[in-house]
């Protein structure tokens, strides 16, 4: 049974604080194992990848077999049901359209003191995408992680996907073809992240690594950060639903289970102002669980990490939402826009009774790679800007430097950085200006 809270109870604050700390785990042992794997891949390259693939994926390969060529990706499209290919193509088009609208514009202006300032956006040269493989593969994640990179203009996208026991998910390969992935390699785990970060004889190093994975993949991304950029360190999936009693409890129950079925440590939380509605949702969850393919996983998640919070008034919900800072937030209430305006911290907000979170996982357009574990307080979901870099542009002529330079000289001297001050004052004093004019005339 999920935990039940009521805001008016004397122990609510303590119970809510415990809920905020739920699923916090130490991973020292994982970090140590991953550090050893990363070091081994750096030293031995392909040989280490092949050894780990045999050990963890029970698959013996040669270095030549690590790469999955473009012909094989195209072939995968023909091996999948046409309806699934059509769904992938629709999703890819919607994701691309949304992320194109997020592209930032370059900046170029001259301020009141005659100094030209600007900013230029350029894509990273190469991005690596980690995709889980085997039976737990998610073609939608291929699109969500690669389409924004393509929209950003990344020149090379390399994807790694494990194939445990030689099992290849055809729809994952088809998604890679549809998204325009340049290179695909059949390797997974921390060793794949290490290969993307440092390069091997077969896999070229990239500049940024994105994509979901287990605790070992998350640890590897954390450890290679600095050598390469990463998207975020994602934890188990989570959903928070604010719902009034006007909803069909069966709908809300299904939405809660849509995230609970991901993982035993996923978290689903309901906030409502009706105890009777909360009980109806619980009953509906029990009914739905009887027919899900992933019943055991969803039931464990709901029992161990699920929660129902009954508030006296739904006006109290936004403050609780901000404290939870959920990955996914559904507002199934009469005025969802008004409530959303009062909420600051959420990875993605789904407005109204006909916007289940699951539509965002596939075809809505915004990215489903979102901050978890309350990190929505300070971070955002994956987007096109994650594959871009901003370069500042500054240009002064003599007049502009004359107007702003003295202040810079003053600050440099205050900090004891005499060469900084000199590099500006020498120009303000006109030293070398005549020589520059003479050189220009000679050219």
| DSSP codes of every residue in 291-319 | T-TTHHHHHHHHHHH-EEEE-S-GGGHHH
- For residue 88 the two structure tokens come to 């992938």
Q: How many CA atoms lie within 13 A of 64 on its CB side?
A: 0
Question: Which one of the listed residues 99, 262, 305, 328 is annotated catalytic?
Answer: 328
Strand partners, 274: none
Strand partners, 160: 130, 185
Instruction: Give the integer Cα–Cα distance in Å for 171 and 138.
Output: 8
> Residue 380 and residue 357: Cα distance in Å, rounded?
17
Cα three-residue angle 95-99-104, rounded to 5 degrees: 175
Q: Check 327, 330, 345, 357 and give the catalytic one.
A: 327
Is 420 catalytic? The answer is no
Q: What is the distance of C-alpha 159 from the center of its chain? A: 16
First to last CA, the chain: 83
Can you tell me whether residue 251 is helix, strand or coil? helix
Residue 18 has a CB neighbour count (10 Å cut-off) of 12
3-state class (DSSP) for residue 153: coil
Query: How many Cα atoms are found within 13 Å in the side-chain-facing hemisphere of 336?
Result: 16
Rg of the chain taking only CA atoms, in angstroms: 27
| Contact present, 328 and 350 (Cβ < 8 Å) | yes
Q: Is 327 a catalytic residue?
A: yes
Say how far apart CA 310 and CA 6 lie, in whole Å.
5
- CB of 187 closer than 8 Å to CB of 162: yes
Look-up of token digits 């993307």: 196
Q: How far apart are CA 12 and CA 18, in angstroms?
A: 10
Q: Which helix (H) or strand (E) is 320 found in, with range?
A: helix 317-324
Residue 375: CB partners within 8 Å, gap ≥ 6? 232, 233, 325
* Burial call 328-340: b when 16+ CB within 10 Å, e when fewer: bbbbbbeebeebb
- Please name which of 160, 235, 230, 231 lies closest in space to residue 191, comparing C-alpha atoms: 160
Largest CA distance in the chain: 89
Question: Catalytic residues, which ones?
Answer: 327-328
């Amino acid at each position: 049974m999920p935990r039940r809270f009521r805001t008016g109870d004397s122990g609510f604050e303590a119970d809510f604080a415990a809920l905020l700390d739920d699923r916090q785990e130490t991973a020292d042992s994982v970090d140590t194992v991953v550090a050893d794997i990363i070091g081994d891949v750096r030293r031995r390259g392909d040989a280490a990848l092949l050894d780990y693939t045999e050990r963890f994926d029970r698959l013996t390969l040669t270095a030549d077999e690590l790469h999955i060529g473009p012909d094989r990706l195209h072939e995968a499209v023909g091996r999948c049901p046409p309806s699934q290919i059509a769904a992938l193509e629709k999703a890819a088009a919607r994701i691309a359209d949304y992320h194109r609208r997020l592209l930032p514009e370059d900046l170029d202006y001259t301020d009141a003191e005659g100094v030209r300032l600007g900013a230029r956006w350029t894509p990273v040269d190469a991005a690596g995408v980690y995709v889980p493989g085997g039976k737990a593969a998610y073609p939608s994640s291929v699109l969500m992680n690669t389409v924004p990179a393509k929209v950003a203009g990344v020149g090379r996208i390399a994807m790694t996907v494990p194939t445990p026991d030689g099992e290849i998910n055809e729809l994952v390969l088809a998604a890679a073809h549809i998204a325009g992935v340049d290179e695909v390699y059949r390797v997974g785990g921390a060793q794949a992240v290490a290969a993307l970060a440092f390069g091997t004889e077969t896999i070229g190093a990239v500049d940024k690594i994105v994509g979901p994975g287990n605790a070992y993949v998350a640890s590897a991304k954390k450890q290679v950060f600095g050598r390469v950029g990463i998207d975020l360190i994602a934890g188990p999936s989570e959903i928070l639903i604010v719902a009034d009693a006007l909803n069909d409890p069966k709908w809300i129950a299904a939405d809660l289970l849509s995230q609970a079925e991901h993982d035993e440590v996923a978290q689903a939380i309901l906030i409502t102002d009706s105890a009777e509605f909360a009980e109806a949702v619980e009953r509906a969850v029990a009914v739905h669980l009887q027919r899900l393919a992933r019943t055991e996983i969803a039931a464990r998640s709901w029992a161990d990490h699920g929660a129902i919070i009954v508030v006296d008034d739904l006006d109290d919900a936004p403050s609780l939402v901000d404290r939870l800072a959920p990955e996914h937030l559904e507002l199934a209430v009469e005025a969802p826009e008004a409530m959303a305006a009062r909420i600051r911290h959420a990875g993605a907000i789904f407005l109204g009774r006909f916007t289940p979170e699951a539509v965002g996982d596939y075809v809505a357009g915004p990215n489903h790679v979102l901050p978890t574990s309350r990190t929505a307080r300070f971070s955002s979901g994956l987007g096109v800007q994650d594959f871009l870099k901003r370069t500042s542009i500054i240009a002064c002529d003599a007049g502009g430097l004359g107007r702003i330079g003295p202040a810079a000289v003053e600050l440099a001297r205050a900090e004891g950085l005499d060469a900084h001050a000199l590099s500006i004052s020498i120009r303000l004093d006109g030293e070398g200006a005549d020589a520059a004019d003479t050189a220009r005339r000679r050219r």
